[in-house]
Chain A
Amino acid sequence: MRYLRLLSIFYKNSILKELEYRANFIANVFMSILWLGWAIVGVSVFFLHRDKMGDWTYPEVLMVVGLFTFFNGVMEALLRPNVGAVIEQIRDGTFDFVLTKPVNAQFIASLRSIIVWRLVDAVIGIGLIAYALGQLRVTPTPTQIGFFVVMLLSGTAIVYAIWLVMVSFAFWFVRIDNITELFYAFYEAGRYPVTIYRGVVRVVLTYIVPIAFVTTFPASALLGRIDQTTTLVGFAFAIGLLIASNRFWKFALRYYASASS
C-alpha cells in the first residue's frame, strides 16, 4: 500500500518534470512512429522475396515486432530513466540520499521515475500485435492468452533483472554506458524470432542474454506453439533471475564508495 502511494507520487513528479519541457514530448511521439515504420519496412522488404522467415509467416513476424516495440516502450519508459539516474547518482554521490531513506533502496532506484510518453511505444506495440492477430484470422484460446500473459510478465521480469545487474556494476565501474549499449545490441536481435538464428547465437539469445523470453516466446504462446512446460520453465527462469539480481544488487551496494564529500 505504502509503496503504491510512493509510486504514484514518484510518477506524478516525473510527469510534472516532463511537462516542464513540452517540445520534447512531441518530438518523441514522432520518433516512436518513425522507428516503428522502419521496423515494418524492414520486415516487409524481406517478405517481398521470401514467404517465410525461419518458419514464421509475415503476420507472425509482425507479432514479434509488436512485442519488441512493446518492450522497448516499457524499457524506455520505466527502466532507462531510472538506470540513467542511478548511474548519475553513483557518479556524483547523491545516491547517498537514496540510501539514507527508510525505503527499500532497490525500489527507489528502479522505480523512481517514468518517462510517460515512451509508453506510446508500448501502446503501438500492442496495436501491432492485435493487427497481426487479425491478419492471421486467429482467435487465441483462453489457455493461449494465459500462457501469453505469463510469458509477458516473465519477460518483463527478465528484462528488469538484467537491467538491475547492469546497474549494480556501476558500483564498481561507475561508468557503464557501454554495458547498457551492449545490452541494446543484443536486444536488437530480439526484433526477429530467435528461431531464425542458428547454433551459438540462438543459445546465447535464449539463455545468456535471454531475449528470446521477451519477444519470441510470448508471440509463440499466442500462436499456440508453446506448451505448459515451456511456460513454466520461462516463469521459473524469471523468478530465479529476479532473486539472483536482487542478491547481486545487495552485494554490490557494499561497494558503494559515496563519491566526494
Chain B
Amino acid sequence: MPGSIPIRVQNLCKYYQVHQKEPGLVGSLKSFVKRKYADVKAVDDVSFTIDAGEIVGFLGPNGAGKTTTLKVLAGLLYPTNGVARVLDFTPSERRAAFLRQITLVMGQKQQLAWDLPPMETFLVNAAIYEIPDDQFKKTLAELTELLELAPLLKKQVRKLSLGERMKCELTAALLHRPKVLFLDEPTIGLDVTMQTKIRQFVAEYNARYRATIILTSHYMADVTALCQRVIVIDHGKLLYDGDLKALAEKIAPHKLVRVEFSQALDGQRLEEFGEVVKMRGQRAELLVPRDATSDVAARMLAQLPIADVTIEEPPIEDVITRVFEQAARARAERGEAEEEEE
C-alpha cells in the first residue's frame, strides 16, 4: 500500500543557476554588465523512501544538498527533475491539507515574532492551523511540560537565550501535531545540556505520535542518539543509505586498537601491526583491519610488553570524514575537475 510510505523520493534533482563573479571591483563591474551563469547541482539524482515513524539522519558537509532536499520535501522549492512525494502529496503544490501535516524547523531561522512573547506566535499559529481551543491547550501543556517552557511564555522573544528560543521555536512548529518533521540543524549553537534536552524531546515526540522525522545536524551525537538509519549526501549525490552501524563496518574496514605498554618500546616494530594513528609515551592507537583484529591483538600480546588493550569501533566522525574523502577521490579519478562552489 503506497499510502503507508510517507516519504518517497525518486531521481530527485535540483539545480540552481548561480551567477559567477570574478573577485574584485573589475570582476564586479564585468558581472554587472554581463552575468555568467552556471548550473550548480545541489541535488543530483537522489532516490530514497522513508517509512512511517522512522527518524532518518541526513549527513553531509556544508553545501552537500541536505537542506535543499529538505526544502524540496517541505514544498519550498520546485524540483528541477524527478519526483518527490510526501504523505501522497506533491510538496511543491503546497496544498493546505499537506502543509497541515508537516513542519519545518530550522536552527538558523526563526518564526517567532521578535518583539512579542512566544505565546503570541503560538496563538497566531493556532489560528493559522485552525487548532481547536481544547486541543491547543492540551498540546501546549504537554509541550510546556516536556520542554520546561512555563517561565518563558510571557517574556519577549528578544530577551530569551538561544536555547530558550529554540525550545519555543520547536513548540511553535509542533502545536498542530505534524506527522512529518523536517528538522534542519535544530541544535546548532546550543550547549551540550540543551542539545541533550532537544534530542530527548525529539525522541519523545517520535515515540508518542509515531511521527516521521528527517534530521540534519553537524553534531554526530544528535544523529547517533536519534537515528538508526542515515542518508549520506555529498555534492548532491547519495553516497549511502542504511544502518548507521553498518556504515561504520562498510566504510571503515578498520577497528581502533588502543594499547598501553608496561614499559617503553625500543621504538620499532609497531607499524607491522597496523596503521599507527597516535603514539604518546606508553600509549598508542592503531587502526587494524576488521577481520584481522583478534589475530593482531594476540600477536601484540605475545610480542610486546602490553599492560592493557581495548578494541573499539572508530569514532563515527572519522568514519564520516572517510566517506567524504573516498567520494572526493572517486570524483577526482573520474576526472570531474569542474570548479565546485565552496
| Beta-carbon contacts under 8 Å, A90-121 to B | 92-94, 96-97, 99-103, 105
**Given contacts A16-B120, A261-B67, A99 and B113 within 8 Å (CB-CB):** no
The CB with the most chain B CB atoms within 10 A, among A2, A13, A261, is that of: A261
- In the complex, which of the residues A20, A102, A103, A258 contacts B115, with contact meaning CB atoms closer than 8 Å? A20
Contact indicator B120/A13 (Cβ below 8 Å): yes
Known: A92-B109, A96-B106, A254-B78. A102 touches B71 (CB 8 A): no
Interface status of A9 (Cβ within 8 A of chain B)? yes
Q: How many Cβ-Cβ contacts under 8 Å join chain A to chain B?
A: 73
Question: Which one of B126-134, B147-155, B243-251 is at the A interface?
Answer: B126-134
Number of interface residues of B (CB under 8 A): 36
| Beta-carbon contact of A6 and B109 below 8 Å | no
Interface residues of A in 1-22 (CB under 8 A from B): 2, 5-6, 9-10, 13, 16-17, 20
Shortest Cβ distance from B182 into chain A, in angstroms? 9
A97-B108 Cα distance, complex, nearest whole Å? 12
Is the C-beta of A257 less than 8 angstroms from some C-beta in chain B? Answer: yes
**Is A256 at the interface (CB under 8 A from chain B)?**
yes
A260 touches B (CB below 8 Å): yes
Which of B98, B104, B113, B124 is close to A96, meaning CB atoms less than 8 Å apart? B104
8 interchain residue pairs of minimum CB distance: A102-B96, A102-B99, A97-B111, A261-B67, A102-B100, A94-B109, A17-B115, A100-B104
> Residues on A close to B: CB < 8 A?
2, 5-6, 9-10, 13, 16-17, 20, 92-94, 96-97, 99-103, 105, 254, 256-258, 260-261
Interface residues of B (CB under 8 A from A): 16, 62, 67, 71, 74-78, 94, 96-100, 102-104, 106, 108-111, 113, 115-116, 120, 123-124, 127-130, 156, 184-185
26 of the cross-chain contacts (CB-CB < 8 Å) are: A2-B130, A9-B123, A9-B124, A9-B127, A17-B113, A17-B115, A20-B115, A20-B156, A92-B109, A96-B71, A97-B104, A100-B76, A100-B99, A101-B99, A101-B128, A102-B96, A102-B97, A102-B98, A102-B99, A102-B128, A102-B129, A256-B76, A260-B109, A261-B62, A261-B67, A261-B106
